[in-house]
Chains A and B, each alone.
Chain A
Amino acid sequence: MKLKPKEGLLWMLAAAAVSLSFSACKPKGAGSAVSGNAAQRTYIPPGQYDEFYTFTSGGFSGQMSVYGLPSGRLFRVIPVFSVDPEKAWGFSEETKPMLETSHGFVPWDDLHHIESSFTDGMPDGKWMFANSNNTPRLARIDLQTFRTAEIIEIPNTGGNHCSPFTTENSEYVIAATRFSVPPDGPGGDVPISSYKENFKGHISFVSVDKETGEFNIAFQLKTPGLNFDLSSAGKGVSNGWLFISCYNSEQAHTLQEVNASQNDKDFIMAINWKKAEEYFKAGKGVKQAVRYAHNKYDEHTHTATSQIKTEVTVLDITDFDDLAYLIPCPKSPHGADVNPTGEYIVGSGKLAALIPVFSFEKLQNAIANKEFEGERYGGVPVVKYESALHGEVQKPGLGPLHTEFDEKGNAYTSFFVSSEVVKWNVKTLEVLDRQPTYYSVGHLMVAGGNSKKPYGKYLVAYNKITKDRFLPTGPELCHSAQLFDISGDKMELLLDFPTIGEPHYAQSLPADILKDKSLKIYDINANAHPHKTNGEAEARIEREGNIVRVYMTTIRSHLTPDVIEGIRMGDEVYFHVTNIEQDWDMPHGFAIKGAKNAELLIMPGETQTIKWEPDRVGIFPFYCTDFCSALHQEMSGYVRVSPKGSNVAMTSYTGNK
């Protein structure tokens, strides 16, 4: 058969139409997911302020970063558990004690979660709490200075993941072990395969002083060996209780990927913490010898101190019948999140095909009526699943991880495997909306979503995989945050922005709570640093043996002294630099050639110290590292280093002697 040109053209057209319609069957990518005026809704004109501060965990960066919402602009990275040479965190003499532990100085950690301090279930803008997962610790960040004010180590704990969740009035911050381990001490030398007998979980209740914020490990609850993942304190009707997700109810000690994924249900542990507090106050606990570091930064001496503490009070939950209960929860639950009224507890089983929602009222009834399973788990009563269940969200998605809430009775759950955020109604359990994330969302955060009255409006999804979302930067890519507007019926994607480290959770606070009380300068007259230099007239150098102290001041645009002689090989030189400026945003820096630690950045009114050990004879320049003024480049000086035993006179001055 011979095709006429016209017929041939028709066949070609038909073939093209078929192939086009096939490719049209393939779902669309991310290209069209953003609505038309998204840019307008996230645009903050130059010089104007964001609506929210968002404190974001840095995960394996060990730090906490502060962003603005809705712009996604990064304002500050607060060093917490990892050293930061830029800010001399962990390098200056003043901050070194902050990273001390019972293991000695630890320069890195994995900052997992953060939570606000609360008053009556609402962020009060005083502090942010953060936990370190690897070497178990808790930190408190001051929201006037945006600096880490305190770090406390948690004994009897192996991986402080289930932390730093706080009670309705931040009476306690919780720290619970992700990896059960034998209690601290020489008794810990046991076969790893003896997990079931010897490994224990510990849940620490760290009290917070209402005024100063100071931590104190009030007591610990000892539990059967379990992996504690996440928790939420009860609020409103459930105030006084704590809900913790537990996985590895199999008590596997190896290949947990498989062996800890066998049971259809693991648990949510419900703890009556007010009861625990009562027992503790009644002296029912047992004192155990442990070692943990407690580090505090004093804003007046501008210096941290580290103290090793040696005792903790432990209550074994199996010794009491009314302290803790287990609620079966499918399957390897991750988040255990309490809704704003405190009535509903959402368990997100990583491997479950549904989301169970428990009712606090039903749980209380079940406990009162002893609706327990026949067998206790490791001595802890197990409430019957149905007895505590409010209902299940059916077919929500794959791999639920975390749930946050808005002010209208809705919940938002992140799904890692199906890479989406799903909105559903807490009462009716009906799925209302689902939006894709790019890609594989871990944590999510609704502004105020863990408080009694969520601010709502914005949701941020923190994605574990970024791939093609930004310009590529080699094999190592940033984690991304995605901002959704949740004020309407449907969630709307507004913005992608890169983040630092791996954010696990965040807290958004309305800017108005914080911005006016943010500290501008340190009062130089309140500076009680033992090596403060009281004005340029007191700038000097002092020698005691081979220790030389340089009492230095900085003010635009000179360092005093800027000529230093009489330093000898073998000396340990401490530069105690006081920034005598009292003007807003006028830090000075200090760096000296050959320093093996870091620079200093000294805020107005502050004194900071860097140690320097000269390694050769010669002239060493030092200079201000923070461009402070038109004559910043002139803000420098010299140190003369002479051989050991030299008799060069100790001299120091600036300008004419």
Chain B
Amino acid sequence: MKNQHHILSLNRAILIIGGIALLAVIALPIWRIELDAAQYPEGLELLIYSYKLEGEVDIINGLNHYIGMKTLRADDFIEFTLLPYLIGIYGLAFILVGISARRKLLNILFGAFLLFGVISMVDFWRWLYEYGHDLNPSAPIKVPGMAYQPPLIGFKQLLNFGAFSIPAIGGWIFIACGILLAYCVYAEWRMVKYRTS
């Protein structure tokens, strides 16, 4: 029966809207790291986009040289080339799954999106680790045992700077898409279960 393989109209709508929102994420900041110190009451902000770094990157780099952290340069991140395409592909996939309305594709998309999310966060954590630990041995300021890895999410004190890391608008959209996708999968599973029982 054809209908049994098709998903509900509400879920289709969620998928299509989610897909459009994901496409928008390409142009929006995904993650935000805020730095506060006594001398920076106004705070310093680092915004991570899918394809670039924004915010007070130069000032942060200027400060980081004291502890020997590598200079943050967009060119050093292969992710900035790949991410816009990957997010674009996922956005289109959301829309296509919504249009095709096939439950099987929905489940595959969910799995793939979850994988994408996990890999992205692991990758992000890896970069934070690397920048926080790979310090120039001739840096002016060396604190034994001190690493400067910002938190993946949440707050951490790094010498005189408090670092606060949270998703930015794009990141929240991304998370919301994941949750909505999970909801669709769950709603469809419930419906199939109900029908077959």
Q: Which residues of A contact B141 (CB under 8 A)?
A: 630
- Contact (Cβ within 8 A) A582 B58: yes
User: When the two chains form the complex, which single residue of A582, A583, A631 contacts B66, counting CB atoms closer than 8 Å?
Assistant: A631
Interface members, chain B 109-124 (any A CB < 8 Å): none
> A581: CB under 8 A from chain B?
yes
> Which residues of the other chain, B, contact A43 by a CB distance below 8 angstroms?
none
- A555 lies within 8 A of chain B by Cβ: yes
Contact call B62/A556, Cβ cutoff below 8 A = yes
Q: A582 near B140 (CB under 8 angstroms)?
A: no
B59 contacts A by Cβ under 8 Å: yes
- Contact in complex: A630, B66 (CB < 8 Å): yes
Interface status of A320 (Cβ within 8 A of chain B): no
Measured between alpha carbons, how far is A630 from B56 in the docked complex, in Å?
20
Complex interface residues of chain B between 128 and 170 (CB less than 8 A to chain A): 140-141
For A581, the chain B residues whose CB sits under 8 A away are 62
Q: State A616–B77 Cα separation when bound (angstroms).
A: 53
Minimum distance in angstroms from B182 CB to a CB of chain A: 43
Query: Is the Cβ of A584 less than 8 Å from the Cβ of B42?
Result: yes
Q: Report the nearest B residue to A582, measured CB to CB.
A: B58
Residues of A within 8 A of B59 (CB): 582-583
Q: Which of A555, A584, A634 contacts B62 (CB 8 A)?
A: A555
CA–CA, A631 to B62, complex, Å?
A: 13
B131 to chain A, nearest CB (A): 19
Q: How far is the CA of A582 from the CA of B56 in the complex (A)?
A: 9
A630 / chain B contacts, CB cutoff of 8 Å: 66, 141
Q: How far is the CA of A631 from the CA of B66 in the complex (A)?
A: 9
Contact yes or no, A583 B62, CB < 8 A:
yes
In the complex formed, the residue of B with least CB distance to A634 is B140
**CB nearest neighbor in B for A583:** B59
Query: Which residues from 560 to 596 on chain A have a C-beta closer than 8 Å to any C-beta of chain B?
Result: 581-584
A557 to B66, CA, bound (A): 9
Distance from A560 Cβ to chain B, minimum over Cβ atoms (Å)? 13
Which residues of A614-657 are within 8 A (CB) of B? 629-631, 634
Chain B residues with CB under 8 A of A556: 62-63, 66
How far is the CB of B147 from the nearest CB of chain A, in Å?
A: 19
**Nearest Cβ in chain A — how far from B45, in angstroms?**
13
- Rounded to whole angstroms, the CA-CA distance of A634 and B65 in the bound complex is 15
Question: Residues of A contacting B42 with CB < 8 Å?
Answer: 584
In the docked arrangement, what's the CA distance between A631 and B65, Å?
A: 12
In the bound assembly, the distance between CA atoms of A92 and B121 in angstroms comes to 53
CB distance from B82 to the nearest CB of A (A): 30
Residues from chain B with a CB closer than 8 A to the CB of A631 are 66, 140
CB distance from B140 to the nearest CB of A (A): 6
Q: How far is the CB of B107 from chain A (nearest CB, A)?
A: 50
Task: Output the nearest chain B residue to A520 by Cβ-Cβ distance.
Answer: B42
Scan residues 62-93 of chain A and give those whose CB is less than 8 A from a CB of chain B. Answer: none
Interface string of A535-556 (1 = CB under 8 A from B): 0000000000000000000011
CA distance A651 to B67 in the complex (A): 29
**Closest Cβ of chain A: how far from B20's Cβ, in Å?**
36
Shortest distance between the CB of B59 and any CB in chain A (Å):
5
Shortest Cβ gap from A127 to chain B (Å): 27
Contacts of B63 in A (CB 8 A): 556
Return chain B residues, CB-CB under 8 Å to A582: 58-59
Q: How far is the CA of A582 from the CA of B63 in the complex (A)?
A: 12
Query: CA of A631 to CA of B140 in the docked complex: distance in angstroms?
Result: 8
How many angstroms between the C-alpha atoms of A581 and B62 in the bound complex? Answer: 9
Interface string of B57-78 (1 = CB under 8 A from A): 0110011001000000000000
Q: Tell which of A581, A582, A583, A629 has the most Cβ of chain B within 10 Å.
A: A583
Min distance, Cβ A584 to any Cβ of chain B, angstroms: 7
How far does the alpha carbon of A583 sit from the alpha carbon of B62 in the complex, in Å?
Answer: 10
A483 to chain B, nearest CB (A): 29
Q: Which residue of A lies closest to B160 (CB)?
A: A630
B67 smallest CB distance to A (angstroms): 11
Closest beta carbon of chain A to B54's beta carbon, Å:
14
Residues of A within 8 A of B140 (CB): 557, 631, 634
Give the nearest-CB partner of A655 in chain B: B138
| Nearest A-chain residue to B42, judged by Cβ | A584
Cα A557 to Cα B63 in complex, Å, equals 10
Please indicate the chain B residues that have their CB under 8 angstroms from the CB of A584 in the complex: 42
In the bound complex, how far is the Cα of B175 from the Cα of A272, in angstroms?
A: 72
| Docked pose: A266 CA to B119 CA in angstroms | 90
Bound Cα distance from A556 to B141, whole angstroms = 13
Q: How far is the CA of A631 from the CA of B68 in the complex (A)?
A: 14
Contact with B along A312-354 (1 / 0, CB 8 A): 0000000000000000000000000000000000000000000
Q: How far is the CA of A557 from the CA of B140 in the complex (A)?
A: 10
A410 to B66, CA, bound (A): 60
Q: In the bound complex, what is the Cα–Cα distance between A630 and B140 (angstroms)?
A: 10
Complex formed: what's the CA distance from A584 to B59 in Å?
10
Chain B residues with CB below 8 A from A583, complex form: 56, 59, 62
How far is the CB of A585 from the nearest CB of chain B, in Å? 8
Q: B10 to chain A: closest CB distance in Å?
A: 48
B66 CB contacts on chain A under 8 angstroms: 556-557, 629-631
Closest-CB distance, A48 to chain B (whole angstroms)? 13
Which residues of B from 35 to 67 have beta carbons under 8 Å from A?
42, 56, 58-59, 62-63, 66
How far apart are the CA atoms of A555 and B66 in the complex, in Å? Answer: 12
Question: Which residues of B sit under 8 angstroms from A634, Cβ to Cβ?
Answer: 140
Contacts of B62 in A (CB 8 A): 555-556, 581, 583
Chain A residue, CB-CB nearest to B58: A582
A633–chain B nearest beta-carbon distance, Å? 11
In the bound complex, CA of A644 to CA of B126 (Å)? 59
Bound-state CA distance A583–B44 (Å) is: 10
Q: State in angstroms the CA–CA spacing of A584 and B62 once bound together.
A: 13
Which A residue sits closest to B44, measured CB to CB? A583
Smallest CB gap from B56: residue in A:
A583
Minimum CB distance partner of B141 in chain A: A630
CB distance from B180 to the nearest CB of A (A): 41
Chain B, residue nearest A629 (CB) = B66
Q: How far is the CA of A584 from the CA of B58 in the complex (A)?
A: 12
A386 to B141, CA, bound (A): 81
Chain A residues with CB under 8 A of B56? 583
**How far apart sit A433 and B141, CA to CA, in the bound complex (Å)?**
64
- In chain A, positions 478-534 with a C-beta closer than 8 Å to chain B are none
- Chain B proximity of A537: nearest CB distance (Å): 14
Q: A634–B66 Cα gap in the complex (Å)?
A: 13
- Counting chain A CB atoms within 10 Å of each CB, which of B56, B62, B140, B141 scores highest? B62
Query: Bound complex: CA of A602 vs CA of B90, how far in Å?
Result: 50
The residues of B that contact A629 with a CB separation of less than 8 Å are: 66
A193 nearest CB across to chain B (Å): 66
A557: chain B residues at CB < 8 Å are 66, 140
Q: How distant is the Cα of A556 from the Cα of B58 in the complex, in angstroms?
A: 12
Q: How far is the CA of A346 from the CA of B74 in the complex (A)?
A: 67
Using CB atoms, name the residue of chain B closest to A555. B62
| Docked CA distance A35–B19 (Å) | 69
How far, in Å, is B156 (CB) from chain A's closest CB?
21
User: Closest CB of chain B to A39's CB: distance in Å?
Assistant: 27
Chain B residue nearest to A556 (CB atoms) is B62
Instruction: Give the distance to chain B from A7, nearest Cβ to Cβ, in Å.
Output: 76
The interface of chain A, by Cβ under 8 A from chain B, is 555-557, 581-584, 629-631, 634
| Inter-chain pairs besides A556-B63, A557-B140, A583-B56, 16 sampled, C-beta below 8 Å | A555-B62, A556-B62, A556-B66, A557-B66, A581-B62, A582-B58, A582-B59, A583-B59, A583-B62, A584-B42, A629-B66, A630-B66, A630-B141, A631-B66, A631-B140, A634-B140
Sorted from nearest, which 9 A-B pairs have the closest CB atoms? A583-B59, A631-B140, A582-B58, A556-B62, A555-B62, A583-B62, A582-B59, A630-B66, A631-B66
A-B contact pairs, 5 of them (CB 8 A): A557-B140, A581-B62, A583-B59, A630-B66, A631-B140
